[in-house]
Amino acid sequence: MAKKRRKLNKDFERKIYSSKKNVELVLAKIYDIDDENIQKEYMSAFNEVVHLYDELRASYEEHGFNDNSDQLLANYKNALNIFESEFEI
């Protein structure tokens, strides 16, 4: 049986790319923190955002754009906004 083709969406791909850059930027800022305890605290809090980004990216790579894609993106953005509001970076 032939495998079903993934539905692609260029606009959604740009959003994933932008999300990747945001994650990389925040991680770079966290790695620049000199105090190891504070760095660990920030990294621990940011892990949820990274996990949600990874889930978003993996879902798109495996299934393409689908009904769940917008919700995964919203979950990631919400987690990032919560992190940024709770941690000054």
Question: Is 29 within the bounds of a domain?
Answer: yes
Average pLDDT in the 71-75 region?
A: 97
Distance in angstroms (rounded) separating the CA atoms of residues 19 and 87: 18
Task: Kindly state whether residue 4 falls inside one of the protein's structural domains.
Answer: no
Tokens of 7: 């539905």
Residue 1 has pLDDT above 60, yes or no: no
pLDDT computed for residue 34 by the predictor: 94
Return the pLDDT at 89.
Answer: 79
Residue 21: give the domain boundaries: 10-86
pLDDT tens, residue by residue, 10-64: 999 999 999 999 999 999 999 999 999 999 999 999 999 999 999 999 999 999 9
Confidence class for position 7, pLDDT limits 50, 70, 90: confident
Q: How many domains does the chain have?
A: 1
Cβ-count burial of 56 within 10 angstroms (0-12 exposed, 13-18 middle, 19+ buried)? buried
pTM attached to this predicted model: 0.89
Query: Which two three-digit tokens encode residue 8?
Result: 């692609």
Q: Which of 17, 73, 14 is nearest to 49 (CA)?
A: 73
- Inside any domain, residue 33: yes
Tokens of 53: 């980004």
Does residue 1 lie within any of the structural domains?
no
